[in-house]
Amino acid sequence: MDMLYNVLIDPFVMMGSAPDLLIQTLWEGLVAGVLYALIALGFVLIFKASGVFNFAQGIMVVFAALTLVGLHEMGVPALLALILTIGVMFILAVTVERVVLRPLVNQPDIILFMATFGLTYFLIGFGELIFGGNPKQMIAQELYLPQGSTDLDLFGGLVRFQHIDIAAAVIASLIIAVLAVFFSKTRIGRALRAVADSHKAALSVGISLGQIWVIVWFAAGIVALVAGIMWGARSDVSFALQIVALKALPVLILGGFTSIPGAIVGGLIIGVSEKLGEFYWGGLVGGGIETWLAYIIALLFLLYRPQGLFGERIIERI
Amino acid sequence: MRPFENPVIPQRETLLAVENVSLAFGGVKALTDVSFDIRKGEIRAIIGPNGAGKTSMLNCINGFYHPTHGSITFKGEKRRRMRPSAAARGGIARTFQNVALFKGMSTLDNIMTGRSLKMHKGFFWQMLRYGPALKEEAGHRRVVEDIIDFLEIQHIRRTPVGKLPYGLQKRVELGRALAMEPELLLLDEPMAGMNLEEKEDMSRFILDVNQHFGTTIALIEHDMGVVMDLSDRVVVLEYGRKIADGTPQEVKRDEKVVAAYLGVAH
Amino acid sequence: MFYREAGQFKTTYAADMAIFPLREDRIGLAVIIVCAYALVFTGNSFLLQAVMIPFLVFSLAAIGLNLLTGYTGLLSLGTGAFMGVGAYACYKLTTAFPGLNIIICILASGLFSAAIGVLFGLPSLRIKGFYLAVATLAAQFFLQWCFIRVPWLVNYNVSGAIEAPLRTLFGVPIVGATATPETRYLVVLTLVIGLTWVASNIVHGRIGRAWMAVRDMDIAAELIGIRLLRTKLLAFAVSSYYCGVAGALLVFLWYGGAEYDVFNINQSFFILFMVIIGGLGSLIGSFMGAALIFILPIILGMVMPAILSPFGIGITAATVEHLRFMIVGALIIFFLIVEPHGLARLWQIGKQKLRVWPFPY
């Protein structure tokens, strides 16, 4: 009985009695959600255009951030380091296309999926070999990202909004808007959608698969870089981030693998429910439930709706 | 292969009756109010233009789709919903339009899989693969070898089916269905994409199965010559509705059927 | 030529269905097993403790995952956690019933892991492919959290670690600090051989065919009367059983003690890599994959400094670890490109070459 009260009633009483805390938690959840969405967006880009479930997306986030910080540590000015990092992401995209995707064209999806596992491990080893395994500080100040925070007086309590979080939300929205325009309005965007529907049909009308793949992997690389900078500014840059990046997977499940709005909504849902769950219910079972809550939510959701929030109902044919 | 009992059934009782079956996916109607029956021991053809709902009909019969309206009576048992595995246990086997073999497995294993339902030795014996389990396995292997002989595919016994040419894959698939010793065999375009010689072979197998083992067969086929020669009775679907039903000769003369296939003069 | 099947006739189906129908295969297998046991007499405890025992443990885990992923086509990223369940269950069993034979404890601990595996396998009826992989991640993170947060699992031990107590078999210590590498190796080897034999029996019979049918074309499998949920859950159960036993062996006969972190997601990935590189759907491939992924870094660790030191490049353990990641990653991509069916297929091709030698066909 006590337990039921603690689970079902007490958290809501707490929410009602201290709305400022609730808003603070919601805000933190939303910010985390935006970052999850950004990582998930990278997955969606690649999945849409090549049908590859890119497990390495999470590591690309870390790798991009690490390259940026690492270059800066070697004495490269911040903005130049940023440009160089973009260059590195482009080289990565080209290399992946040449070395991994091209030889594996027409293989079953699961093989490509596993190949991205290989890529993940390669990038972990490579990144650590060059930049070392120690956590690093993100060069937020040098990149002119806002510092500090604003405290707003809401519902009789102070709610703290970190400026970097606000910046993250704004930049993420911008990126999403740019990508949406890019997909729907440009020639390459149309080609991308064609490739997503059918590789063979796209090839037959003269779309170069290799070129498209380089473009999406590069775009995913840039999205990863942005996510890496934002995340790095909130904590440290280290390979521990990859566990966080894996949270993009439940986000994808909620949103569906091919839907950009799905990635965003899914990211926000996961971010918010994770923070709320941890803050209001986590204490009941000893805390730390953030590590698995997202996955369990995704799992339960899948049982109810296997095709995700925005996916179409699957009719099996034979 | 030993023939099943009573290969000839004189009075031809009804084995399966489809009554007023409709099937819809959202707003799309795949089948509308279709009724027909399949009698014991006959070869029943289902024909119709592309998209007429033929495959959907087979899917309903073996429980893969559930009709939105209507019922299906099989061996006197009436039902609306049934799981595919229950249909298989009831004695319905089928082959598929696009070969649905287990690509990573050999011909032998594919056909042996068709015997799954008849194997009963539990997990414990399977773990040991000794005594009763091995004996059971050998017994079923004998049946499977008979089927392999019947279909003349001895030479590809150990080849992974993914590597076989299309015509042979179709034959292996028929073998897998036969291994289930079905009472009703559903064949979805058994001769699609075959050359004349392969078609002749396949027709002979179908007739042999029907006459030797008394297996009732329902088949979908586009080759009208084959349909007219093989089948006892034909049901014609168009846009999910039944437009004709009868012997090949009756159906051939039916105006609606002619219109459906050749178009109507305006 | 070297590998002759001509003249070996089978007169019964039972003989034809034997798992090793060829005499050469049977002799080869016997030689390998004898050699494996003979390793004990080398007295090289580094070889036994640091190479052979972990190799066998990982092979067993790889077999477990292969039954699920390679044979049934269900991708799992939770292997590490299922191994953990086995290890913790074994710890609880052997501390709760100190008189119970440790071998029985180890074999029984797999049952707990199987039960948990079935629980997390339940969604597999509705969820397929990548989606299922994510679902198994739920198992990985949730179970790992349990290992940290449920003190009951470690008997309220302050350190949060489980430690192998002293246990004997026929009066000889086989688990605990005083057990020699030789005895532990013998126990591991015997268990692994036994369990591999059972796995081989299962995959060659009705159950194995049902698993492969589900993997290759689940709809067709259902239409010939295979019950999907039951088949998939059985795969989860057997797979998790093997992983659980491997986890128990890992802690009790190799490490001697462990914390939750041993069973983290990287462990899951490494087992998956062993399966991929060894060959999906091949038991012998599981051994080969485990050998490559586990033994290669050991060789690297020994060889790299020797190669690089003449050039004045010092190499640290950390660098070797990084190189190991890179090489494993590159190997996976390499194998997927060159031979998606892994080492097992290369082995088959090699056998075929030997069979027809000296002719190319």
Domain with residue A193: its CATH number is 1.10.3470
> Are residues B228 and B108 part of one domain?
no
In chain C, % of residues over pLDDT 70:
95
Confidence of residue B3 (pLDDT cuts 50, 70, 90): very low
Residue C23 lies in a domain: no
Residues of chain B above pLDDT 70, percent: 94
A119 within some domain: yes
Please check whether residue B73 lies inside any domain of the structure. yes
pTM of the model: 0.89
Is residue C83 within 8 A of residue C140, CB to CB? The reply is: no
Please answer yes or no on whether B64 and A315 come within 8 Å at the CB atom. Answer: no
* Closest C-alpha among B142, B112, B147, B180 to residue C204: B112
Q: Cβ contact (<8 Å) for A117 and C273?
A: yes
CATH of the domain at C139: 1.10.3470
What is the per-residue pLDDT across A99-129, written as a single tens digit (0 to 9) for each?
A: 888 888 777 777 888 888 889 889 988 888 8
C-alpha span between C61 and C286 (Å, rounded): 9
User: For residue A299, which residues of chain C lie inside 8 Å, CB to CB?
Assistant: 123, 134-135, 138
Longest dimension (CA), chain A: 67
Q: Is C201 close to B145, i.e. CB distance below 8 A? A: no
Q: Residue C279 is encoded by which pair of tokens?
A: 């060959």
Neighbour tally for B121: CB within 10 Å: 18
Say yes or no: B73 and B108 in one domain.
no
Q: What is the reported pLDDT for C117?
A: 93
Nearest to B117 among C14, C201, C225 (CB): C225
Determine the structural domain holding residue A215 and report its residue range.
Answer: 2-304
Chains near C, with 3+ CB pairs < 8 A? A, B
pLDDT band at C1 (very low <50, low <70, confident <90, very high): low
Number of domains in chain A: 1
Instruction: Work out the average pLDDT over C53-78.
Output: 93
Can you give the residue range of the structural domain that contains C271? Answer: 45-356
User: CB–CB of A117 and C332 under 8 A?
Assistant: yes
A123 interfaces chain C, CB cutoff of 8 Å: yes
Residue C345 contacts B, CB cutoff 8 Å: no
Give a yes or no: residue C214 inside a domain.
Answer: yes
Q: Which residues of A touch B59 (CB under 8 A)?
A: 318
C162, containing H or E segment: strand C162-163
* Residue that terminates a domain, selected from B133, B154, B179: B179
Dihedral angle of Cα B219, B225, B226, B230, to the nearest 10 degrees: 90
Q: Is A133 on the interface with C (CB under 8 A)?
A: yes
**Contact check, Cβ <8 Å, C205/B129:** yes
Question: Which CATH number fits the domain that encloses residue B82?
Answer: 3.40.50.300
Beta partners for B18? B36, B72
Residue B97 and residue A315: Cβ atoms within 8 Å?
Answer: no
Q: Please give the span between the terminal C-alpha atoms of chain C, in angstroms, as a whole number.
A: 12
Q: Cβ distance C138 to C124 under 8 Å?
A: no
Q: How far is CA C134 from CA A44, A48, A303, C74, in A?
A: 15, 19, 13, 11
Together in a domain, B66 and B186: yes
Please check whether residue C166 is in contact with residue C178, taking contact to mean a CB–CB distance below 8 angstroms: yes
Q: What is the pLDDT of residues B88-113, one digit of tens each?
A: 888 999 998 888 899 889 999 999 99
What ipTM does the predicted assembly reach?
0.88
Res C165: pLDDT: 83
Q: For the residues A124-147, what does the mean pLDDT come to?
A: 77
* C32 contacts: CB under 8 Å, gap ≥ 6: none
Residue A135: how many CB atoms within 10 A of its CB? Answer: 14
Amino acid at C35: C
Query: Between chains, do B55 and A318 touch, taking CB under 8 Å as contact?
Result: yes
Distances (CA, A) of C70 to A131, B228, C62, C156, C304: 37, 46, 10, 38, 34
Give the residue on B whose Cα is nearest the Cα of A315: B25
Tell me if chain B has a CB within 8 Å of the CB of C198: yes
pLDDT of residue A312: 63
3-state SS class at C2? coil
- Quote the minimal CA–CA distance from C194 to chain B in Å: 11
Structural contact between residues C181 and C297, judged by C-beta atoms closer than 8 angstroms: no
Domain that holds residue B193: 1-91+182-266
Between A176-185, B40-49, B89-98, the lowest mean confidence (pLDDT) is in: A176-185
CA-to-CA separations, C287 to A114, B92, B164, C301, C342, in angstroms, rounded: 19, 42, 30, 21, 12
Which chains pack against B, by 3+ Cβ pairs within 8 A? A, C
Q: What is the mean pLDDT of residues B186-201?
A: 89
> Given CB atoms, is A149 within the 8 Å cutoff of chain C?
no
Condensed to tens digits (0 to 9), the pLDDT of residues C117-127 reads 999 888 887 77
Q: What is the pLDDT of residue B6?
A: 44
Which of A313, A315, A318 is facing B100, going by the closest CB pair? A318
For residue B96, tell me if it sits in a domain.
no
pLDDT at position B8 is 46
CA-nearest of A145, A210, A223 to A182 is A223
Per-residue confidence band for B208, with pLDDT thresholds at 50, 70 and 90: very high
- pLDDT value at residue C315: 67
Contact C11/B at CB under 8 A: no
Quote the number of domains for chain C. Answer: 1
Residue in A222, A223, A245 with CA at minimum distance from that of residue A235? A245
In-domain check, residue C191: yes
pLDDT for C312: 61
pLDDT at C280 over 80: yes
Q: Which residues pair with B77 in a beta bridge?
A: B74
Minimal Cβ distance to A318: which of B25, B26, B96: B96
Distances (CA, A) of C145 to A290, B156, B176, C265: 10, 52, 47, 12
Shortest distance, CA A113 to any CA of chain B (angstroms): 20
Bridge partners (DSSP) listed for residue A149: A162
Interchain contact A315–B (C-beta under 8 A): yes
Q: Are residues B153 and B213 in the same domain?
A: no
Q: Count of domains in chain B?
A: 2
Instruction: Answer yes or no: do B249 and B127 share one domain.
Output: no
**Distance, CA of A4 to chain centre:** 35
Q: Are B77 and B207 within one domain?
A: yes
The token pair that represents A127 in the structure block: 């990144």
Same domain for B109 and B226, yes or no, is no
Strand B216-220 and strand B184-188: pairing? parallel
